[in-house]
Amino acid sequence: MIRAAGLAVAALAALASIGAAQGASAPSPAIPRRIVSLNTCADQFLIAMADKGQIAALTRFARDPSLSFYADRARAYPVIDEEAAAVLNLRPDLVIASPYDRAEMLALLKGKAPILELKPAESFDEIISDTRAVALAIGHPERGEALIRSMRTRVEAAGRRPMGGVAAQYQRGGYIAGAGTLMDDLMTRAGLVNLARRLNGGSLGQLSLEQIVYDHPDFLILTDEGGAGGRDEASLSLDHPALLDAVPPSRRLYIPAALTVCGGPSYPDALERLQAEVDRAKAARR
């Protein structure tokens, strides 16, 4: 509730700043006409809810199919290098950014353009809060509610599965997603127990090849199709004989990274994909 209230206040503050910049004759609430996204998650929300003419620029990652849920749709919009001068040249009346990235650039922008700082959502409830905050800030709260209804309908249809196995999400460098992350939320809804909750107090951490073999989870979740992300030198070797024996390929669940990089409109697709992968893997074990 605190996070949701904070986002709502930030969105209202952004609208107030826009109204002040447009003058007393501006409509209330003011609707931003030139929005710049410096947040890959905000890209999703803008494509889903903003008028095309409102979007002055998206991030350079918006067209990357390995990172962006709406990569194809993003090709219809301009993108921008994340430099303060480039942003200001677009004369934005709203900038949506992450509070954790490029602090120096944000400091240069503050006072020159209204800024909505959007933190990464780590659960479906937070995605709902973010949807409302962005919809309010861009002047389309009704579209936010429509998107929320659509997402909720699909999430409710997918259901929350009973617990049916232990899983670990493998990431580059041997990291696994800890408790309280978006993947942890997805795993719970898909009926999986996150192995990280049994290790290191549930925090995000590295998992060695030996430890994965020792704990032998029922499933390994990979967010690079076909396990390609495991080929770099720093990664845990997915082809190691011991790991193949502990978690064979039939029990590896593949989810495109573009579905899980951000908590946003991609969430229902990510949940449906994870549940389908669990069903496939369980059927292969019979």
222: β partners: 170, 254
What CATH topology corresponds to 2-155?
A: Rossmann fold (3.40.50)
Mean pLDDT (the chain) is 86
Could you check whether 2-155 and 166-285 share the same CATH topology?
yes
Question: Could you tell me the pLDDT band of residue 66, with boundaries at 50, 70 and 90?
Answer: very high
Whole-structure pTM value? 0.85
Q: Environment class of residue 38 by beta-carbon count within 10 Å: exposed (0-12), middle (13-18) or buried (19+)?
A: buried
Fold held by 166-285: Rossmann fold (3.40.50)
Please check whether residue 172 is in contact with residue 229, taking contact to mean a CB–CB distance below 8 angstroms: yes
pLDDT at 221: 95
Angle formed at CA 95 by CA 59 and CA 45, multiple of 5 degrees:
60
pLDDT at 15: 53
Higher pLDDT, 252 or 15: 252
Q: Where are the domains of the chain?
A: 2-155, 166-285
Task: Report d(CA 152, CA 122) in Å as an integer.
Answer: 16
Q: Are 82 and 105 in contact (CB under 8 A)?
A: yes
Higher pLDDT pick, 19 / 219: 219
- Could you give phi then psi for residue 253, rounded to 5 degrees? -105, 120
Classify strands 35-38 and 94-97 as parallel, antiparallel or unpaired: parallel
**Residue 26 predicted with pLDDT over 70:** no
Helix, strand, coil content of the chain in percent (nearest 5):
50, 15, 35
pLDDT at 144 over 60: yes
d(CA 148, CA 129): 9
Which residue, chain included where needed, has tokens 């890959």?
40
Alpha carbon of 138 to those of 33, 141, 146: distances in Å?
8, 8, 15
Distances (CA, A) of 183 to 27, 51, 53, 177, 213: 41, 30, 34, 7, 21
- The residues, any chain, with a CB within 8 Å of residue 19's CB and separated by 6 or more, are 26, 28, 29, 30
